[in-house]
Amino acid sequence: MMKTELNTQPDLIAAVETSPFQADLLQHVPDAVIITDLDFNINSWNNAAETIYGWQAHEVIGKRLGNIVSTTFPHNHQEAVITHLFNVGNWQGQVIQKRRNGQEIHISASVSLVKDSNDHSVGVIIINRPLAKRNTEAVEIKTLTREVDRLNKEIKAISYSVSHDLRAPLRAISGFAQVITQRHWADLNGETQHFLSNIIEASNHLDQLINDLLTYARLGHRVIQPRSVDLADLLDHIILTLSEEIEKTDAKIDLPDTLCTLQTDPFLMTQILTNVIENAIIYHRPNLKPHIIISCQTEPEQVVIGIADNGLGIPSEYHHKIFDIFQRLHHHDTYDGNGIGLCLVKKALDLLSGHISIESVEGNGSIFWIMLPHAD
Amino acid sequence: MKPAIILLIDDNHMDIELVLLAIAGLEVNYEVQTAHSGYEALDYLFGRAKFADRSRFPLPDIVLLDLKMPGLDGHEVLRRIKTTPGLKRLPVIIFTSSKEDIDRANCYDSGANSYVVKPLLLEELQTIMKQIETYWLDLNIGPPTMP
C-alpha cells in the first residue's frame, strides 16, 4: 500500500493501485507521483515527491497541490492546460515549481485523468521529474547575462571616463612641452631639445592609443546600421583619409574597374578597410614603394574583398596572433602602430558576421581576405 | 571697437592656461574671461558675487564650455543658459575632451551651438582659437542685443 492514505478517497487510490505490486512501484519510482482529486486536492504523495519538494506526505495530504508547489505554467497559460487535461485526458509539459525552501525547480510534468471502472474521471495522477540540469543551466544563463550586462556597463563607464579624464593630463604634459618648444627652443641645449621632443612624441603616441582603445571599446556596444554602401565610393574616401601616408611612402593603390555595392554598416566597413590598407602602406619593405592591389568578388554566399601588398609579409607562426589586441611584430622606432588595428578589424567583422584570413610569406607581401556574407 | 568677450568655463586650470598661452601668440580681437567651475560660470553670467561689476565682467559674446566639471557640470550650465530668457541666445561652443556620442547628443539636444574637441597639439589649439574668431565673431551674425 502507498505510504500516505490519510484523508484520501479510497475509490481514487484503488483506481490507481490495482495491485500491491503497483502500489509499491508508484511509491519507489524516482519521479514524484502525486494523486489528487479533480480539484487538485492531494490524495497521495510518494517518497520521491517528499525528496523533490521537501514536504512530508502527512503535511500535504488533503491540501491543494497549487498551494504546496505553486506551479508556474508555460506562458502562464494555466487555464489552457487544465482545459486540455479535461478535454483530452492528459497533458505533458514543463513547469516551474517551488520547493519547501522557496527554491524554484524546473519540472517535466506528465498529468493524466484517473478513471474508475465506469470510465468516470475520479482524479488526477501527476508524474513530475525535476530537470536538474536544465534548471542549473537556466540559472547560470541568468547569472551570466547579469554579469555581461554589468561588465558592459562597466566598460561603458570606463571608456566614458577615459574619454574625459585620461586626456586632460596628457594634454597638459604635451601642451606645456609644446609651449616650451614654441617659446624657448633656442635657449635649450641639444640634449634638452631631444628630451622635450621625446615627451611630445610619446604623448602623441599615447593619444593615438587612447583613441584606438576607445574606438575598440565603443565597437562592443555599437548598434549595427546596415545600408547600401558603394565600395568604390567608400574606398575613394578611405584613400583620401590616408593621403598623407600615401604621399609619404609614394604608395600605389590599384582598384578594380568595377566594385560591388554592399548591404553593410558603413562605419564598420570603413574601420575594417582603413586599418588593413593603412597596414599595407605602413609595413612596406625598405627601399620598396608600397604597391597595394584591391580586388572584390561576389560569390553565391559572400562577398570577398582581397587586399594584397608587396610589403614585409608576416611569418606564418604569427598568422594566428596578429588579430589579438596589443600584438605587434615590429618595433615602434621602425614602424608606427599600436597593436589595436587588426584586432579592431576582427571585432568589426565579428559584428558583421564576416571573417578575415591572411596569406603571407615573410619578406614577400601579404594578402588579407575579407569575407562578408550577403545581407538577408 | 571694443574687443569681444569669450567666457571660458573650465575646471582644469592647465587647460585654461594652455588656451591663454595659445592666444598670447595670436592676433585676436577678443578677450578671454575665465570661470573655474559651473557655479562660477553662473555667477559670471548672472552678474553675481565677485562678478557683480558688469563693467569689469561684461556679458560674453561667446561661451566656451567644458563638460566634465565637479558639482555643476557643463551639461547643467548649458541647460541653465539655454532656459534663461536673457541668456538663451548666447552662442555656446562645447569645448571638451570627449567625442562620446552621448555627450554630443545631449549637448545638441540642450541647444549647444557648436561642439569642439580639445586638441593635443598646441598648433591645433591656436588654429581653433583663431577659427572661433573668424567664424563666430567675424562671419556669423549674432543675435540682436538682448534686453
The string of DSSP codes covering B105-138 is HHHHHTT-SEEEEPPSSHHHHHHHHHHHIIIIII
Domains of chain B: 4-139 (3.40.50.2300)
pLDDT of residue B10: 96
Cβ contact, residue pair A160, B99, below 8 Å: no
Could you report the per-residue pLDDT of A109-160, keeping only the tens digit for each? 999 998 887 888 899 999 998 886 666 677 788 888 888 888 888 888 888 8
Interface residues of chain A, partner chain B, Cβ below 8 Å: 159-160, 163-165, 167-168, 170-172, 174-176, 178-179, 182, 203-204, 207, 214
Q: Report the range out of A4-18, A75-89, A294-308, B133-147 with the highest average pLDDT.
A: A294-308
pLDDT band at A210 (very low <50, low <70, confident <90, very high): confident
Is A4 a residue whose pLDDT tops 80?
no
> Which of the pair, A325 or A308, is modelled with greater confidence?
A308
pLDDT band at A81 (very low <50, low <70, confident <90, very high): confident
Q: Which residues of chain A does B67 touch, with a Cβ-Cβ cutoff of 8 Å? A: 164
pLDDT band at A5 (very low <50, low <70, confident <90, very high): very low
pLDDT of residue B54: 93
Could you report the per-residue pLDDT of B92-134, keeping only the tens digit for each? 999 999 888 889 999 999 999 999 999 999 999 999 999 999 9
Is A6 a residue whose pLDDT tops 70?
no
Domains of chain A: 10-130 (3.30.450.20), 132-220 (1.10.287), 222-376 (3.30.565.10)
Q: Enumerate the β-bridge partners of residue B66.
A: none
The C-alpha angle B119, B121, B127, rounded to 5 degrees, equals: 75
Taking the Cβ of residue B105 and every Cβ of chain A, the question of whether any pair is shorter than 8 Å is answered with: no
Asked if A208 and A338 count as a contact pair (C-beta separation under 8 A), the reply is yes
A58-72, A122-136, B54-68, B106-120: least confidently modelled range:
A122-136
Closest-CA residue of B relative to A160 is B100
pLDDT of residue B16: 96
Take residue A322 and report the three cell numbers written for it. 596578429
Radius of gyration, CA atoms only, chain B = 14
- Alpha-carbon distance B4 to nearest alpha carbon in chain A (angstroms): 25
Count interface pairs A-B at CB distance under 8 A: 55
pLDDT > 90: percent of chain A = 41
A30-44, A123-137, A186-200, B38-52: least confidently modelled range:
A123-137
pLDDT of residue A1: 41
CA distance A359 to A370: 12
Continuous H helices in chain A? 10-16, 20-28, 47-53, 57-60, 65-69, 78-88, 132-161, 167-184, 190-220, 231-241, 243-249, 266-282, 341-351
User: Quick check: helix, strand or coil at residue A229?
Assistant: strand
**Chain position carrying cell 515527491:** A49
The predicted model gives B61-90 an average pLDDT of: 95
Give the CA-trace dihedral at A242, A246, A251, A252, to 10 degrees: 60
Is B89 a residue whose pLDDT tops 50?
yes
pLDDT of residue A224: 84
> In 10 A of CB A86, how many CB atoms?
13
Q: Report the range out of A129-133, A327-331, A341-345, A353-357 with the highest average pLDDT.
A: A353-357
What b/e sequence results for A226-260 when a residue is b if at least 16 CB atoms lie within 10 Å of its CB, and e otherwise? eeebebbebbeebbeebeeebeeeebebebeeebe
pLDDT of residue A329: 64
Supply the mean pLDDT for chain A: 85
Closest-CA residue of B relative to A171 is B120
Taking the Cβ of residue B24 and every Cβ of chain A, the question of whether any pair is shorter than 8 Å is answered with: no
CA distance B52 to B49: 6
pLDDT of residue A116: 82
pLDDT band at A2 (very low <50, low <70, confident <90, very high): very low
> Which of the pair, A135 or A298, is modelled with greater confidence?
A298
Is A252 a residue whose pLDDT tops 60?
yes
Taking the Cβ of residue B122 and every Cβ of chain A, the question of whether any pair is shorter than 8 Å is answered with: yes
The length of chain A in residues reads 376
User: Quick check: helix, strand or coil at residue A198?
Assistant: helix
Residue in A164, A170, A204 nearest the CB of B98: A164
pLDDT of residue A19: 66
ipTM here = 0.82
**Chain position carrying cell 604635451:** A174
